[in-house]
C-alpha cells in the first residue's frame, strides 16, 4: 500500500522535537551547549521556511522576477537528476526566504604564525576548518574572542550549504542575486555532495563537487544549444587563486624559520604587500583592469583569510581524468569516486596525485 507523504508542516513539527535531541546525543562532551543550540535552532528555522517551488511559481502575487528565476532553476534541477545522475529528491525543489543575505557566517581561525586552522568536528560532516553561525553578531562575537587570544581570524558569509541528504535542502533567497546559470552550477555542486561525501576530507569533497559543477555546467549549456563559455572569468579566478596559494607557500616557509616575533610580523606584512602588488600588476597588465577581486585584496589580510583557497579545486584535474577514463559515464564515474573515497587517506591522495599529473606523450 502506498503511504501518503507527510506535509512539510508535519515534518517540521517532528524535526522540531527530534532534531535538537538527536544533535546533542551525537555530540562529544566538550562541545559548547550554546554553540550547538544555535546550530539546531538555525537549521530548524530554515526547515520551517521551506515551501514547494511549484507553489511559489504558481502564485501570481509573488515577485515576478523570483518566479521566472525559479522556473529556470527547476529546468536545471531536472537536468541534474536525469542527465547528471545526481540524487532525485526534493532538494532544490523547495524555496525558503530566510530574510538575510547569508544563511550562515563561517569563522576561520589560525595562530598568528601558522596556516594550520582550528579544526572543528561534527557528527555528520566530520572535521572542517571553521565554525558556522546562523547569526552574524554571534560570528563577530566569536571572532572578537579569538582575536583577544592573539589569533588570526576571518569571517565569511555563505549563501548556501548542503546537509548531505539529511534534509531536503531549499533554494534560498540568499541565492537569488545570481544569474540562472550560476544558480544551476550551485545546484549541481551541492547535489554532488549528496551523491558522494567522504568524512574528514574537505579537499576531496570540494574538488569532486567542483568537477561535477564544471562538467555539469558544460553539459547543461550544450543541452540548451548554447556555445561553450569563453572561461575568461574562470581563468582570472584560477590566476588569482594561484597568487594566493603562492603566498601561502611563502608564509609556510617563513613560519618554519627560527625568527623573533617582531621580525616574523614584519616579514609576514611584507608577504601580504607582495601579494597585493602582484595582483595589481596582473589586473592591470593581463585583465584589462578587471577589479573583481579588489575588495578582497584591499581588505586586511591575515593567515585565516587564506584558508579557503585551494580547498575547492586541488583535485579537479584528477577527477577530470577519472571521468575521461570512464568514458564520460556518470554512473561509472560515481562508482569509481566512491571506491577512491573508501581508500585510506594517504593512499587516496597518492592515487589522486598520480591521476592529476599530466601524462607524458614521449616514446
Q: How many CA atoms lie within 13 A of 113 on its CB side?
A: 15
**Gyration radius (Cα) of the chain, Å:** 22
Q: Quick one: pLDDT at residue 208?
A: 97
Question: Cα(257)–Cα(251) distance, rounded to whole angstroms?
Answer: 10
pLDDT in the model for residue 97: 96
CA distances from 282 to 47, 239, 270, 277, 301 (A): 44, 9, 18, 9, 19
| pLDDT confidence of residue 123 | 67
Closest to 171 (Cα-Cα) out of 88, 59, 12, 56: 56
- Cell 528565476 found at: 69
Judge whether 211 and 105 are in contact, CB under 8 Å.
no
**Do the strands 120-122 and 152-158 form a parallel or antiparallel pair, or are they unpaired?**
unpaired
Q: How far apart are CA 87 and CA 93, in angstroms?
A: 12
CA angle 238, 244, 249 (to 5 degrees): 120
**pLDDT for residue 27:** 44
Measured distance CA(305)–CA(302) in Å, rounded: 6
- In DSSP terms, which residues pair with 104 in a beta bridge? 158
Grid coordinates standing for 109? 581561525
Alpha helices in 27-135 (DSSP H): 33-48, 53-58, 64-82
Task: pLDDT tens for the chain, 363 residues: list them.
Answer: 333 333 454 443 444 344 444 444 434 444 477 888 888 889 889 999 999 999 999 999 999 999 999 999 999 999 999 999 999 999 999 999 999 999 999 999 999 999 999 988 876 667 888 899 999 999 999 999 999 999 999 999 998 888 888 899 999 999 988 889 999 999 999 999 999 999 889 889 999 999 999 999 999 999 999 988 877 888 898 899 999 999 999 999 999 999 999 999 999 999 999 999 999 999 999 999 999 999 999 999 999 999 988 777 789 999 999 999 999 999 999 999 999 999 999 999 999 999 988 765 454
**Strand pairing report for 120-122 and 131-133:** unpaired
What's the predicted TM-score (pTM) here? 0.83
Can you read off the three cell numbers belonging to residue 37? 543550540
Amino acid at each position: 500500500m502506498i503511504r501518503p507523504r507527510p506535509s512539510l508542516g508535519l515534518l517540521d513539527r517532528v524535526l522540531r522535537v527530534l532534531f535538537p535531541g538527536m544533535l546533542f546525543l551525537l555530540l562529544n562532551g566538550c562541545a559548547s551547549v550554546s554553540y550547538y543550540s544555535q546550530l539546531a535552532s538555525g537549521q530548524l528555522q530554515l526547515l520551517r521556511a521551506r515551501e514547494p517551488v511549484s507553489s511559489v511559481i504558481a502564485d501570481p502575487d509573488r515577485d515576478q522576477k523570483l518566479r521566472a528565476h525559479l522556473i529556470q532553476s527547476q529546468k536545471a534541477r531536472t537536468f541534474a537528476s536525469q542527465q547528471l545522475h545526481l540524487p532525485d529528491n526534493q532538494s532544490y525543489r523547495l524555496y525558503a526566504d530566510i530574510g538575510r543575505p547569508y544563511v550562515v557566517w563561517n569563522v576561520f581561525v589560525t595562530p598568528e604564525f601558522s596556516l594550520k586552522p582550528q579544526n572543528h568536528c561534527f557528527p555528520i560532516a566530520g572535521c572542517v576548518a571553521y565554525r558556522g553561525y546562523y547569526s552574524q553578531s554571534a560570528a563577530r562575537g566569536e571572532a572578537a574572542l579569538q582575536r583577544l587570544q592573539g589569533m588570526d581570524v576571518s569571517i565569511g558569509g555563505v549563501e548556501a550549504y548542503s546537509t548531505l541528504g539529511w534534509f531536503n535542502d531549499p533554494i534560498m533567497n540568499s541565492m537569488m542575486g545570481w544569474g540562472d546559470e550560476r544558480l544551476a552550477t550551485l545546484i549541481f555542486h551541492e547535489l554532488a555532495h549528496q551523491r558522494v561525501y567522504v568524512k574528514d576530507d574537505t579537499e576531496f569533497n570540494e574538488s569532486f563537487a567542483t568537477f561535477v559543477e564544471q562538467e555539469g555546467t558544460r553539459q547543461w549549456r550544450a543541452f540548451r544549444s548554447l556555445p561553450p563559455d569563453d572561461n575568461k572569468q574562470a581563468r582570472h579566478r584560477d590566476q588569482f587563486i594561484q597568487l594566493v596559494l603562492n603566498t601561502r607557500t611563502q608564509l609556510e616557509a617563513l613560519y618554519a624559520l627560527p625568527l623573533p616575533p617582531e621580525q616574523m610580523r614584519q616579514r609576514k606584512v611584507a608577504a601580504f604587500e607582495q601579494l597585493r602588488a602582484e595582483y595589481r600588476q596582473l589586473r592591470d597588465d593581463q585583465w584589462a583592469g578587471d577589479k573583481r577581486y579588489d575588495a578582497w585584496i584591499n581588505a586586511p589580510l591575515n593567515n585565516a583569510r587564506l584558508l579557503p583557497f585551494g580547498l575547492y579545486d586541488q583535485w579537479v584535474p584528477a577527477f577530470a581524468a577519472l571521468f575521461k577514463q570512464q568514458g564520460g559515464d556518470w554512473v561509472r564515474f560515481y562508482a569509481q569516486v566512491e571506491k577512491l573515497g573508501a581508500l585510506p587517506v594517504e593512499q587516496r591522495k597518492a592515487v589522486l596525485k598520480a591521476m592529476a599529473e599530466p601524462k607524458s606523450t614521449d616514446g
